[in-house]
A and B are shown apart, each in its own frame.
Chain A
């Protein structure tokens, strides 16, 4: 594994002002290297999702900086953020969020089309990606015609089709039974090895966390544990 730092987080604080002040993240310091496969764990309300949304530039911190590949993303315009989200980041959420009016293939094509790729080429790439996640025979199914695990595989294909350098998953298997959960985990692990992409997964499942290379534990918005497998 290379020791190139792909994410550098310094003194990251996120305060929600919602009647009362909630310090969801409190001075987080964190470096993540290219190709890492890590889990963020911690009790409910400890700030895991908040941290992930900030890394995904879906949210803006109250203070502190996040460097993605050495570039500060906290002060970018919406256009630049959108471009980075499209090209450098892949999102997998607890719910698959597939667009219901489109089939699996079209859903996976979406990030490519947003990036301006020609439809015919995008269709080819999306098909390859769906084959890679084991859904080569479900290209034209819509999300309501697929199982929970299959939908989540489509979501994985969609997150990875643009070949992002960072894939973030907020409880990506939280809605699945343990067997489908294991399958998705194996799939992510395989993709991580093959493409050397960085995976950051939030999970409640200690069993799954134990299978990652690094565990970051948050409590009350602070990093209380950062352990690497040796």
Chain B
């Protein structure tokens, strides 16, 4: 679960600042930006103007969320450049009208780098933008988001130098809440941290990890009893032989050791087969993209599968510990046998 948080927080502003409650825009945002930049732990700030628009290319048209950004700032806050599959995000700074769009949107419009699309919005003059980059984040934004230079977007909407929001990146993601509250209080703008934004999901993850823990405990308990059962059966099958070994002079301690060793050998075989099966099925699952509702999982739209060597090692150690523990009772039972009764049981 921690992995999911780390991965997704990487692609999200840690704190988002919105206009005051009864306003639609942040008007004097340069002052606010300077104030936020001075706060401790702030790495980057990106102001943006978000509006709706229709993009048209030949006979295709799609509704989009059009973001006006300063590409350098935006990249520092939400790491855009690494998700570019064609062109680069910095091109939005070039003189002229350039646009970066999501990969699915590009496919739907049937456009490629170098093509020119027309943006339209009621009350605005249609404006042409040249596609200079295609971005793929693996989220829904790929289908709806278009990015252009802040200034050009403000002009397109006939707005002055105003913005609709601000994204902030901080050094310690778990301190984001504190900083958001401070901005909220001191600047009187609506600042929300990624934790508040996703509080329901985080709660869900919390309960989910408790369930996962219970699940693990159950699995280990069940397999522990299963293994103990098998070992007890092996011991019961060999009662006569154990008695004869004792008569031949094998000390009780060695009998104990023999059956613990048997448990370990069975355990080792189990861990090896289990790890191989686990690895193969993880590869198999990863080769399919299993859809999940993105609005529930930080915008991820498929089940993330990470194959981490540590997990195999931890599971292996746990399994060996459980198996050895499960082996103790049957082995003790074998070593405590009365040789006379054992021999005559056959």
Give the residue of A78, A85, A97, A115 whose beta carbon is less than 8 angstroms from that of B240: A97
Contact A97 B249 (CB under 8 A): no
Query: Which of A83, A84, A110 has the most chain B CB atoms inside 10 A of its CB?
Result: A110
Chain A residues near B339 (CB, 8 Å)?
Answer: 58-59
Hey, which chain B residues are within 8 Å of A35, CB to CB? none
- Which of the segments A87-95, A183-191, A206-214 contacts the partner chain? A87-95
With A53-B340, A78-B252, A97-B240 given, is the CB distance from A85 to B346 under 8 Å? no
Taken residue by residue from 10 to 39, chain B's Cβ proximity to chain A (1 for < 8 Å, 0 otherwise) reads as 000000000000000000000000000000
Within 8 A of B (CB), among A57-74: 58-59
Q: Flag if B246 contacts A115 (CB, 8 Å).
A: no
Assess whether A82 is in contact with B244, with CB atoms less than 8 Å apart. no
Mark out the residues of chain B between 227 and 270 whose CB falls within 8 Å of any chain A CB in the assembled complex: 240-241, 243-253
Cβ of B54 < 8 Å from any Cβ of A? no
Provide the residues of chain A in CB contact with B240, threshold 8 Å.
Answer: 97
Give the shortest distance, in Å, between B261 (CB) and chain A (any CB).
Answer: 16
> Does residue A79 face the partner (Cβ distance < 8 Å to B)?
yes
A56 contacts partner chain B, Cβ-Cβ < 8 Å: yes
Contact at B241–A82, with CB atoms within 8 Å? no
How far is the CB of B184 from the nearest CB of chain A, in Å?
A: 75
The verdict on A99 contacting chain B, using a C-beta distance below 8 Å, is yes
State whether the Cβ of A86 lies closer than 8 Å to any Cβ in chain B: yes
Of A56, A78, A87, A100, the residue contacting B247 (CB under 8 A) is A56
A95-B346, A97-B240, A99-B244 given; A82·B250 CB < 8 A? yes
Say yes or no: B247 contacts A91, CB within 8 Å.
yes
CA distance A87 to B249 in the complex (A): 8
Judge if A114 is at the interface, Cβ distance under 8 Å: yes
Q: Evaluate contact between A99 and B247: CB separation under 8 angstroms.
A: no
Interface membership of A47, Cβ < 8 A: no
Chain B neighbourhood of A42, CB < 8 A: none
Is A169 interfacial (CB 8 A cutoff)?
A: no
Establish whether residues B249 and A82, one from each chain, have CB atoms under 8 Å apart when the complex forms.
yes
B300-346 with Cβ < 8 A to chain A? 338-340, 343, 346
In the complex, A221 has a CB within 8 A of chain B: no
Contact B244 A85 (CB under 8 A): no
Q: Are A58 and B340 in contact (CB under 8 A)?
A: yes
User: Among the listed A56, A59, A114, which residue makes an inter-chain contact with B250, where contact means beta carbons less than 8 Å apart?
Assistant: A114
Cα–Cα, bound, A111→B244 (Å): 10
Q: How far is the CB of B248 from chain A (nearest CB, A)?
A: 5
How many angstroms between the C-alpha atoms of A91 and B246 in the bound complex?
11
Are B343's CB and A82's CB within 8 A? no
Task: Give the interface residue-count category, chain A.
Answer: 20 to 34
Contacts of A99 in B (CB 8 A): 241, 244
Shortest CB distance A202–B (Å): 13
The answer to whether A85 and B247 touch across the interface, beta carbons within 8 angstroms, is yes
Q: Report which of B249, B251, B252, B340 forms a contact with A111, defined as CB distance below 8 A.
A: B249
User: What is the minimal beta-carbon distance from B339 to any residue of chain A, in angstroms?
Assistant: 5
| A78 contacts B251, C-beta separation under 8 Å | yes
The CA of A111 and the CA of B249, in the complex, are separated in Å by: 7
Closest chain A CB from B94 CB (angstroms): 81
Chain A residues, Cβ within 8 Å of B252: 78, 82
Q: Of residues 16 to 59 in A, which have CB atoms within 8 Å of B's CB atoms?
A: 53, 56, 58-59
Distance between Cα atoms of A86 and B251 in the complex (Å): 10
Residue contact A114 to B249, C-beta cutoff 8 Å: yes
Cβ-defined contact, A58 with B246, below 8 A: yes
Given A53-B340, A58-B339, the answer on whether A97 and B251 have CB atoms closer than 8 Å is: no
Whole-angstrom distance between the Cβ of B251 and the nearest chain A Cβ: 4
Closest to B240 in A: A97
Tell me if A86 and B249 are in contact (CB < 8 A): yes
With A95-B346, A97-B346, A99-B241 as contacts: A85 and B340 at CB distance below 8 Å: no
Contacts of A59 in B (CB 8 A): 338-340
Give the distance to chain B from A144, nearest Cβ to Cβ, in Å: 14
Shortest A72–chain B CB gap in Å is: 19
Chain B residue at minimal CB-CB distance from A79: B251
Q: A99-B241, A99-B244 are in contact. Are A93 and B343 (CB under 8 A)?
A: yes
State the CA gap A59–B246 with chains docked (Å). 12
Assembly CA distance A25 to B253 (angstroms): 30
A97 touches B343 (CB 8 A): yes
Residues of A within 8 A of B245 (CB): 110, 114
With A53-B340, A95-B346: A114-B248 Cβ-Cβ less than 8 Å: yes
Give chain B residues whose Cβ lies under 8 Å from the Cβ of A78: 251-253
Q: Are B248 and A111 in contact (CB under 8 A)?
A: yes
Residues of A within 8 A of B250 (CB): 82, 86, 114
The contact sample of 29 A-B pairs, CB cut-off 8 A, is A56-B247, A58-B246, A58-B247, A58-B340, A58-B343, A59-B339, A78-B251, A79-B253, A82-B249, A83-B249, A84-B249, A85-B247, A85-B248, A86-B248, A86-B249, A91-B247, A91-B248, A93-B343, A95-B346, A97-B240, A97-B243, A97-B244, A97-B343, A97-B346, A99-B244, A110-B245, A111-B248, A114-B245, A115-B249
Q: Name 15 extra pairs, CB < 8 A, besides A59-B338, A111-B248.
A: A58-B340, A58-B343, A78-B251, A79-B251, A82-B249, A83-B249, A85-B248, A91-B248, A95-B346, A97-B241, A97-B243, A99-B244, A110-B245, A114-B248, A158-B248
Q: Taking beta carbons and an 8 Å cutoff, which residues of A are in contact with B?
A: 53, 56, 58-59, 78-79, 82-87, 91, 93, 95, 97, 99-100, 110-111, 114-115, 158
